[in-house]
Structure 1
């Protein structure tokens, strides 16, 4: 055995959905050499005789979180395996104490490396997942922040709305009344009214509220938080 390899004697794979084929299991056994590898389709009552446990995550929205709770309380080491690309549905699993999160394909190629890393440096995340998870976590954090201002993306409406109509739509997004728009743009009240009428007609909406909603739905607006 390579001197850089870690000797692990008892490895259990919990594969409730039967997602790991027998040929892959045989290859894992070859890669892990002397380790005692066992696969089960049921969640064990006891984990006392397990050094490393691999829990194969089924498809999105099918994972029984009670299983993960049970494992986190009784198993000293856990590695969760994903069957699909990382998505928002996997974020809740990060709250569990785990030693690794990988795709099955990654694990097939790097089984011994995974175990070595777990024993030497602790928690491991498949490299390809770092950016996606970081992006999703940041997106969720941002969504919770209140919106301070809606900004019209002028390049999105160029050629569709005239310059004055773009300025008026921006002020509608800010919640300005006709009088406020007139004051800010130095327009006469009649100019504001006619510009809004033209804007509503082009956007095929009935009022200013529908105009702001439609602008957001059309992707014309950037939200500043």
Structure 2
């Protein structure tokens, strides 16, 4: 029997998913939770094999909950059920170690197949997302090669450009001339294949060189 905990802030969603799981005699919903903190409070007693996890929740969202669950020994397997079809978001969640990722517009049979796959040790990603994910992973490898081609000083300049500093500010912060900053920028744009500062900033955010909060 697969013991499932459903974590979603919409009561109707939890009830609907619970009824769906009842059609599978090998699945039992042992608990539901309406946010991350509720999940943490109930998980020890519920002892689920698998958590069916929504990401957009109040109080403690899915990303923060995943980080906390990862600190636990022998955490349950995680199947993310979400509206987020963006590949960057998918990659971020996969980097946190989830075993499955499926969209809320999936069919009931596909969801149950995902539950069984994850429970039996397979990683499940919604099939229509896989080609986009593969393309992004290839692009990520190419980006990594570009980053490695940058010198330490060029990387310093790039980070400052990405967070909005102008050449004069960068020169002052790094104690170099504006002319040197311009030379560095020419080399940086060539190496990372960007045409302007905006593209360079996007490159940095996409690859985690800086965050949107920096």
What is the 5 A alignment of 1:62-141? 63=61, 65-74=63-72, 75-106=75-106, 108-141=108-141
Structure 2 segments unaligned to the other structure (5+ residues): 150-185, 187-194, 197-214
1:144 CA drift (Å): 3.6
Shift, 1:142, TM fit = 1.9
- Count of paired positions: 144
- Is residue 56 of structure 2 the alignment partner of residue 32 of structure 1? no
Using CA pairs below 8 Å that are at least 6 residues apart, which structure has the higher relative contact order?
1
Distance 1:137-1:120 versus aligned 2 partners, 3 A rule: same
Cα 1:50–1:64 shift into 2, 3 Å: closer
- Three-state SS of the structure 2 residue aligned to 1:105 is coil
Aligned Cα root-mean-square deviation (Å) = 3.4
TM-score, length basis structure 2: 0.54
Q: Which runs of 5+ in 1 are unaligned?
A: 1-6, 149-208, 210-215, 218-225
Q: Is the 8 A contact 1:28 1:111 kept in 2?
A: no
Structure (1 or 2) with the greater helix fraction? 2
Deviation at 1:26, TM superposition (A): 4.6
The 1:80/1:64 distance shift into structure 2, 3 A limit, reads closer
Which of 8, 12, 30 is matched with 2:5 structurally?
Answer: 12
The structural deviation recorded for 1:19 is 8.0
Q: 2:13 aligns with which of 11, 21, 28?
A: 21
Deviation at 1:34, TM superposition (A): 5.9
Shift of 1:139: 1.9
TM-score by length of 1: 0.52
